[in-house]
Structure 1
Amino acid sequence: MTDQQRIPVIIDCDTGVDDALALLFAVRHPGLDLRAVTCVAGNTDVDGVVRNTLTVLDVAGAGDVPVARGAERPLIEPARSATVHGRDGMGDIAGLPAPARRPVDTDAVTLLRREILASPRPVTLIPTAPLTNIALLLRTHPEVTRNLERIVFMGGAVAVGNATPVAEFNVWHDPEAAAILLTAGVPITMYGLDVFQRVVVPGEDVRRLRASTEPGTRLAGDLLAHRPSAPEADAGESAGGLGDAGAVCAVVDPAGLTTRPLPVEVSLAPGPTRGQTIVDRRPRHGESETHHGVREQALVDVGLDVDAERYARLYLGTVERGRGLSSGPRDQYT
């Protein structure tokens, strides 16, 4: 595959077990040109996110991918780290080396602007984290939208949430930022909890990955082992959910994701619905719109169904493809 056929992508993440799975996939898929990674507080504090991101890129065998530190707290709320990823955000996996690479000497918003505008072809932006960096970018440098192909973000939910009964963590962490994203004026795909929880790697595959002698493949297995499948998934006790990595799979293989263009807004009011993504699936307007005029809302391509086996196969085939990569200092991970 030539450089002209590869999809230029930038990942904004809060690495995080499943963000790490997403980075491993993005580095190793031959159809993706990973131009940069930006970091934001979420699964752990932002300095921990930077450290985890650099380590994953090392172990994955990534080339010279610039990494930048971003927002350390949401636009309004205090920082609230997730609790499901262990003390270090990476599942407390033993043996992970200190990163050999270093972040660039600039902030995430500056790096995002530079890499988006410098790309010879429009960039697909993949946020798998709270959307603070993206909101700051869009408000500070709206000119970047002219070279954005699409934003595919992991966040939101049509049905139930995880941070609250109705709100998904990434949107709940910074609802104002998510609301800004939805007014970006570029095509947007929402890869929400409704599909996020369904893509599961079977236990026998997880065990095979963990037994690999190739560091990146083995790391993928260890990360999957820390991410048990959704409770309703019939995939076995040792199966692992892909989580955020499914959003990157959707960029490579959009036909595996069933979407529908729907109006989406974010609840910003204090109280139990704060951070909820309100997805209007009605076939016609209701009384509120009929009597008071139609509120302008962006149409978002909302993920409603996913070919879970297809994405699991895509992920495994991509990550295991990296077996022949030169390891260097990554061999410290044993």
Structure 2
Amino acid sequence: MSGQPIPVIIDCDTGVDDALALLFAVRHPGIDLRAVTCVAGNTDVDGVVRNTLTVLEQAGAPGVPVARGAERPLIETARSAPVHGHDGMGDLGLPAPTRRPVDVDAVTLLRREILASPRPVTLVPTAPLTNIALLLRTHPEVTRNIERIVFMGGAVATGNATPVAEFNVWHDPEAAAVLLTAGVPITMYGLDVFMRVVVPGSDVSRLRASADPGTRLGGELLAHRGPGSAEDPAGGLGDAGALCAVVDPAGLTTEPLPVEVSLAPGLTRGQTVVDRRPRLGKSEIHGDSGRPLPVDVALDIDEERYVKLWLSAVEGPAR
């Protein structure tokens, strides 16, 4: 990659795969990681802050500011994802971090860092979108210095929290609905591509044997994520793929499509309804509803390309 590094801010709920994304962002020379904000999701928000600081410390990251954000969704109660273990980080027994979060809340830090950036920021939420919704509603002026929002969330086809809803959107559907009206370019990196980028077991084993703490942590996290076994510990990159798409968007096939979040109670709550029809339907013709703004929806991905990209960064030295 040539040119200046891309200014990036990550909003996360660290989380095994958020940790893989943080490792990549810290170590890839094409990313200028300006801040990390934390929100309840994979675990409670205080656990997310602890996990985030731990990953940055293990990765040898410079003094990236980290802030505590929302401890629950806008309306719903908080509902964690037990797949990430009791501590949200695969119960790896990592030492407590010596780093501390900054003394401002996540929304304040987001506003400060976005507006202070000399170049427009790429905002990468890999978590429920509560912090982002609060930011956009409280400080809409930030959109003038946001280049793009690349969010991990949603699904065109099958969900994981419910048959149709992906966890991050399902956790706070109202926040996701706010995001989709932000008025800036948006890429939806959803489950349709999220599940497909898997690091082979031989690479995972090599990472786990590394003398570098950050590289070794990447291997341990991948081994926890699966879908591998003890004999073949292959692991999915998950959220880290969204960061790969920031650095190398050509590895992602997207299509601008209208996307709307289902907010009604019941089985479809939190579903991202992606309109792939080639022409307006009877509902729109009769004026029942307007089409929402188009979003660049990820429909296909070059898995091997992103695996190589992630490995080349995480096995490199800390910057």
Q: TM-score range by the shorter chain?
A: over 0.9
Question: What does residue range 288-307 of structure 1 map to in structure 2 within 5 Å?
Answer: 288-292=283-287, 295-307=290-302
1:119 aligns with 2:117: yes
What do the CA deviations read for 1:10-56 (whole angstroms, capped 9, x no partner)?
00000000000000000000010000000000000000000000000
**Paired position in structure 1 for 2:280:** 285
1:17 paired with 2:16, answer yes
CA distance in 1 between partners of 2:161 and 2:82 (Å) = 10
Aligned partners of 1:143, 1:222: CA distance in 2, in Å? 41
Q: Using the alignment, how far apart are the partners of 2:186 and 2:228 within structure 1?
A: 26
Match of 1:140 in 2: 138
C-alpha offsets along residues 93-143 of structure 1, whole Å, 9 cap, x if unaligned? Answer: 13x111111000000000000000000000000000000000000000000
Q: How much identity, in percent, do the aligned residues show?
A: 81
- Deviation (angstroms), 1:296: 3.9
User: Does the aligned pair in 2 maintain the 1:198–1:230 contact within 8 Å?
Assistant: no
Map 1:1-334; keep pairs closer than 5 Å: 5-94=4-93, 96-229=94-227, 237-292=232-287, 295-322=290-317, 325=318
Kindly indicate whether the alpha-carbon contact (under 8 Å) linking 2:254 and 2:299 is maintained by their aligned counterparts in 1.
yes
Q: One-letter code of the match for 1:87?
A: H
User: Offset at 1:291?
Assistant: 1.2
Deviation at 1:294, TM superposition (A): 5.2
Specify the SS of the correspondent of 1:84. helix
- Contact residue 17 and residue 89 of structure 1 kept, 8 A: yes
In structure 1, C-alpha distance between the alignment counterparts of 2:252 and 2:83, rounded to whole Å: 26
Q: Which amino acid aligns with 1:318?
A: A
Kept in 1, the 8 Å contact 2:107–2:131? The answer is: yes
Q: Deviations over 1:212-240 (max 9, x none)?
A: 11100000000000111399xxxx94210
Q: Where does structure 1 lack aligned partners over 5 or more consecutive residues? A: 327-334
- For residues 185-230 of structure 1, the C-alpha deviation after alignment (integer angstroms, 9 at most, x for no partner) is 0000000000000000000000000011110000000000011139
Instruction: Tell me the residue number matched to 1:332.
Output: none
Say which SS state the counterpart of residue 253 (structure 2) adopts.
strand
Cα distance, 1:293 vs structure 2: 5.5
Q: Is this contact kept in 2: 1:44–1:88, CA < 8 A?
A: yes
Give the count of matched residue pairs: 318
Question: What stretches of structure 1 move > 6 A for 4+ residues in a row?
Answer: none
Cα distance per residue 1:134-186 (max 9 Å; x no partner): 00000000000000000000000000000000000000000000000000000
| Contact map agreement 2:202 2:232 (CA 8 A) in 1 | no
Q: Distance in 2 between matches of 1:263 and 1:313?
A: 32
CA deviation profile, 1:239-260 (whole Å, cap 9, x unmatched) = 1000000000000000000000
Distance in 1, matches of 2:272 and 2:175, equals 12
Indicate the SS of the match to 1:72: coil
Q: Provide TM-score, normalisation by structure 1.
A: 0.93
User: SS of 1:297's equivalent?
Assistant: coil
Query: What is the CA–CA distance in structure 1 between the aligned matches of 2:261 and 2:50, rounded to whole Å?
Result: 31
When the two chains are superposed, the root-mean-square deviation of aligned CA atoms in Å is 1.5
What residue number does 1:331 align with?
none
Aligned counterparts of 1:320 and 1:15: Cα–Cα separation in 2: 21
